[in-house]
Structure 1
Amino acid sequence: MRSTVAVMLSTSLLMGGQVGVVAAKTQDSKQSEVANIATSLIGKDYEYKAKGPKQFGSAELATYAYKQVGISIGSTISSLYKTGTKVSEKSVTPGDLVFFASSGSGSPTFMGIYIGSDQFVYSSKGEDEVVVKTYSEYSDKFVGARRVIESNSSENKPSKPEKPASTVADQVIKNGEKYMGTNYKYGSSSSTTKTFDCSSFTQRVFKEAGITLPRDSRQQSTVGKSVSKSNLQKGDLIFMKASVNSTSDRITHVAIYAGDGKILHTYGSPGVTYSKYDGTNWEKRTVKIKRVI
């Protein structure tokens, strides 16, 4: 049930109080909106793995808040702890995901959303509801923070180097080519180069070019700028559904456009390989194209 304190906090926000004020001038509007959504959920009931809108698990609170602004992220603490861009404890801004461990070290055991003014919101098992806490008072339990949306941008852009786009794209392709023939393995660890699945491959070769991408293909499809097939450029990420005849646009595969009507990716028995794109089933399966360079 909604506590009296939570009602007071929510009322304070609506009336322009100082609790959880979002610094909209310095933060992407979507990230600011996430912080506001998180604040509006204060007092909702805690329920293990509940996805909302009336009850929430720890990670599911963040998943729900970002979904409301059109961004799909993971639904577990471990996956969210790897998403987006790492930020320091003192550099968090409203909308950032903050992670804590009861022991103060190791893997996070609970998480929340920073809302500004030294406050964060999280769904607490112990208090059986979504609560607001003083961020600095949890410093001894802090283990990390992640930024899903980059600041001062109308787009959700991954971190990237200040180099000409064509130079970076060429480097991405070159990075991928050195892994030609490497075996495909579904769910391959992002820490290995002995095997890849489609998204660990794109994450790896972009990382080697200085660009940080989320781990899986659906998360990767939320970053960067959307472009059309007619505007494809080398280095663009192409996201595909399961088959040409699939009625669902659920993303199941990601490839890198390599120019000249070809894609660089990994799947099945070929492993890392080039494939023809123009006029093929790969093209017909395409549901989204993103430019992150």
Structure 2
Amino acid sequence: MTKRDWMKKSAVAVILSTSLLGFGGQIGQAASDTTSLQKSEEIAKLAESLLGKDYQFKAKGPSKFGSAELATYVYKKAGVTIKSSISDLYKSGSSVSQENLLAGDLVFFSSKGSKSPNYMGVYIGKNQFVYASQAEDAVVLKNISEFDNKFVGARRILSGNVTKQESSSTPSFKSEQTVSPNDLADKIISNGEKYLGTKYKYGSSKDTTKTFDCSSFTQRVFKEAGITLPRDSRQQSTVGKSVSMKDLQKGDLIFMKASVNSSSDRITHVAIYAGNGKVLHTYGSPGVIYSKFFDTNWEKRVVKIKRVI
């Protein structure tokens, strides 16, 4: 080999090694970004799975949660250890604007109009976040745009420059239907009517249509209309848009407490408003049935009304 040939070979080797190093860095970064994105999605899904759980100040789970403790819990479940107080978490990670939020980011709010947050949640994508609400005494799902005047800031805990994209954690009540809300409501009621007289069974399996409890019934008839709801009534009460009694429409979900005289607003029953002053639901000996709603104990037991179509 001549000296000239040796120099050419050496030059090529240097170029190749430099290129491979560059590709290696890109591959390593891509792997890191993918891992962060997967972890973010996992955290979002874990947070959404807690909808309907009880709120309790400073409670660490798994059945009751405080504000910061919910975030600490879902991150730990995903294998990530974070701080356990709102003030510490608000100093953790890196700051993120509301416009650039990703699933898994921590969002902070102030009910006092100050710059210091006093409650927080986990962003899950699609403009929504999950948090343990003292006011609603439960873990709930909310649109972050409804909290613009209370939003203080957001923090990204996970490393990796992940590319912004919509979370795959689709809101659990969303429908892929393109039909109008009125047609969809009619379809839901029609789905329910075919089960009239089906026996009631507390804790009935979501996979059977031979028996229902109140929430497995609503879950079933909404599912048949293309809308996926959580399993129990308390969880179902955390999704959708809150509406007032005067704005009640066919297809709305009506959530009720145990009795008219109950001092607790804990939700124990759910029914579907069927229009014409009636609800379609199931309970006790009649099973699936239409019941008069206005000026009855059903109306007096109402805790909240939600619209998910």
What is the rounded CA distance, in whole Å, between the counterparts of 2:132 and 2:82 in structure 1? Answer: 23
Instruction: Call closer, same or farther: CA 1:183–1:292 in 2, change over 3 Å.
Output: same
Instruction: Call closer, same or farther: CA 1:167–1:247 in 2, change over 3 Å.
Output: same
2:106, 2:156 within 8 Å by CA — same for their partners in 1?
no
Aligned residue type for 1:200? S
Alignment map for 1:208-227 (pairs within 5 Å): 208-227=224-243
Instruction: Call closer, same or farther: CA 1:184–1:9 in 2, change over 3 Å.
Output: closer
**TM-score, scaled to structure 2:** 0.52
Give the deviation of 1:66 after TM superposition.
2.0
What is the rounded CA distance, in whole Å, between the counterparts of 1:268 and 1:241 in structure 2? Answer: 16
The superposition leaves residues 110-131 of structure 1 with CA deviations (integer Å, 9 ceiling, x where unpaired) of xxxxx868x4xxxxxxxxxxxx
Give the deviation of 1:283 after TM superposition.
0.5
Give the deviation of 1:269 after TM superposition.
0.5
Moved over 4 A (4+): 5-12, 68-71
Aligned residue type for 2:213? D
2:131 to 40, 43, 66: 66
Alignment map for 1:213-252 (pairs within 5 Å): 213-252=229-268
1:242, 1:285 within 8 Å by CA — same for their partners in 2?
yes
SS in 2 for 1:158: coil
1:258, 1:264 within 8 Å by CA — same for their partners in 2?
yes
Give the deviation of 1:159 after TM superposition.
3.3
1:272 counterpart = 2:288: yes
SS in 2 for 1:25: helix
1:239, 1:286 within 8 Å by CA — same for their partners in 2?
yes
What is the rounded CA distance, in whole Å, between the counterparts of 1:206 and 1:26 in structure 2? Answer: 33
Task: Please name the residue that 1:36 is paired with.
Answer: 106
Structure 1 residue runs without a partner (length 5+) = 39-52, 54-64, 75-82, 84-114, 120-131, 136-144, 151-156
1:185 to 189, 198, 201: 201
SS in 2 for 1:67: strand
Give the deviation of 1:262 after TM superposition.
0.4
What is the rounded CA distance, in whole Å, between the counterparts of 1:205 and 1:221 in structure 2? Answer: 16
1:13 counterpart = 2:93: yes
1:239, 1:288 within 8 Å by CA — same for their partners in 2?
yes
Aligned residue type for 2:303? V
Instruction: Call closer, same or farther: CA 1:174–1:158 in 2, change over 3 Å.
Output: same
Alignment map for 1:127-142 (pairs within 5 Å): none
Alignment map for 1:48-197 (pairs within 5 Å): 66-68=131-133, 72-73=138-139, 119=158, 147=169, 149=171, 158-197=174-213
SS in 1 for 2:234: helix
Aligned residue type for 2:232? D
Aligned residue type for 2:251? G
What is the rounded CA distance, in whole Å, between the counterparts of 1:183 and 1:146 in structure 2? Answer: 37
1:158, 1:223 within 8 Å by CA — same for their partners in 2?
no
What is the rounded CA distance, in whole Å, between the counterparts of 1:9 and 1:259 in structure 2? Answer: 47
1:256, 1:263 within 8 Å by CA — same for their partners in 2?
yes
Task: Please name the residue that 2:99 is paired with.
Answer: 25
What is the rounded CA distance, in whole Å, between the counterparts of 2:278 and 2:135 in structure 1? Answer: 30
Give the deviation of 1:68 after TM superposition.
4.7
More helix by share: 2
1:256, 1:264 within 8 Å by CA — same for their partners in 2?
yes
Instruction: Call closer, same or farther: CA 1:70–1:245 in 2, change over 3 Å.
Output: closer
Q: Percent identity?
A: 60
Give the deviation of 1:274 after TM superposition.
0.4
Task: Please name the residue that 1:284 is paired with.
Answer: 300
The superposition leaves residues 113-170 of structure 1 with CA deviations (integer Å, 9 ceiling, x where unpaired) of xx868x4xxxxxxxxxxxx99x9xxxxxxxxx983747xxxxxx53342210110000
Give the deviation of 1:73 after TM superposition.
4.4
1:160, 1:212 within 8 Å by CA — same for their partners in 2?
no
Give the deviation of 1:35 after TM superposition.
3.1
What is the rounded CA distance, in whole Å, between the counterparts of 1:214 and 1:230 in structure 2? Answer: 26
